[in-house]
């Protein structure tokens, strides 16, 4: 498979990627917030 073939994404593919990226970002944010809160309680 050539590199040019791999880069031809349809609008649907891009929408799917955006959706999964947003979901990943939210999950990452939730984990970070969880760790922050847990760390806050562990210190005291």
Tell me, what's the pLDDT at 5?
A: 56
Q: Measured between alpha carbons, how far is 17 from 11 in angstroms, rounded to an integer?
A: 10
Tell me, what's the pLDDT at 8?
A: 77
Q: Measured between alpha carbons, how far is 18 from 25 in angstroms, rounded to an integer?
A: 10
Banded pLDDT at 1 (limits 50, 70, 90): very low
Tell me, what's the pLDDT at 3?
A: 54
Mean pLDDT (whole number) for 7-26 = 90
42: tokens are 């562990």
7: tokens are 């880069």
- Tokens 């891009």 belong to which residue? 14
Kindly report the pTM of this predicted structure. 0.60
Local structure of residue 6 (DSSP, 8 states): H
Q: How many CA atoms lie within 13 A of 8 on its CB side?
A: 4
């Amino acid at each position: 498979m050539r590199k040019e073939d791999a880069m031809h994404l349809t609008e649907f593919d891009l929408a799917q990627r955006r959706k999964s990226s947003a979901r990943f970002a939210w999950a990452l944010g939730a984990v970070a917030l969880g760790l922050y809160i847990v760390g806050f309680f562990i210190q005291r």
